[in-house]
Chain A
Amino acid sequence: GENVEQHPSTLSVQEGDSAVIKCTYSDSASNYFPWYKQELGKRPQLIIDIRSNVGEKKDQRIAVTLNKTAKHFSLHITETQPEDSAVYFCAASTPIYDKVIFGPGTSLSVIP
């Protein structure tokens, strides 16, 4: 089955700097890659997603890139703000059915 790895597990950046989180997946059939943000004590919230027919997607300060050949995808957050501090989860899903496998998470701290 699908296995998703995520790095780094923790990340600290200064406010205004960029943050990059990288994920790899094992199943070459995976074609949907969502990213979730989870603040302490809250539910995971979908922040951006990308499908395998697209190499890059951007939404304001966040962007996701996908390299299907290498089976890895990344989340980029620019001009980080303290409210970006949270745990970020990447995930991968195959077209067989809608099961989504999550990575272990990255705890991002933005230092004011």
Chain B
Amino acid sequence: NAGVMQNPRHLVRRRGQEARLRCSPMKGHSHVYWYRQLPEEGLKFMVYLQKENIIDESGMPKERFSAEFPKEGPSILRIQQVVRGDSAAYFCASSPGDRTEQYFGPGTRLTVT
């Protein structure tokens, strides 16, 4: 049973470009969560999704950020018109839904130049 997969592991974007981060949950997991972690800081909740539904996006900035978890394929976190302050590690986690253990992917480290 493969763990949570994220790609790319490292992403460099220039200011104003778009960043697209992908997360494939563990097999059998239907719940996906995205977190942002700045250097030497904690994990900040961004968004919680189930298949084809956004359950809670209270931690995600209203502008430039969007997330989806389609019926088929990975969950995608999209950041439009990136700025230097978006540089961070973005982790996704998945859970089976009937329990609350979350398992994290390896993260995508976004650098905005």
Contact = CB atoms under 8 A, between A and B. Distances in A.
A89 B41 CA distance: 11
Contacts of B101: 34, 46, 49
- Residues of B contacting A: mostly: strand
Given A98-B31, A98-B48, A32 B100 contact: yes
Contacts, number: 53
A97 B103 CA distance: 16
Interface of B: 31, 33, 35, 41-45, 48, 55-56, 58, 91, 95, 97, 100-107
Contacts of B58: 1
Interface of A: 1, 32, 34, 36, 42-46, 49, 89, 93, 97-105
A102 B100 contact: no
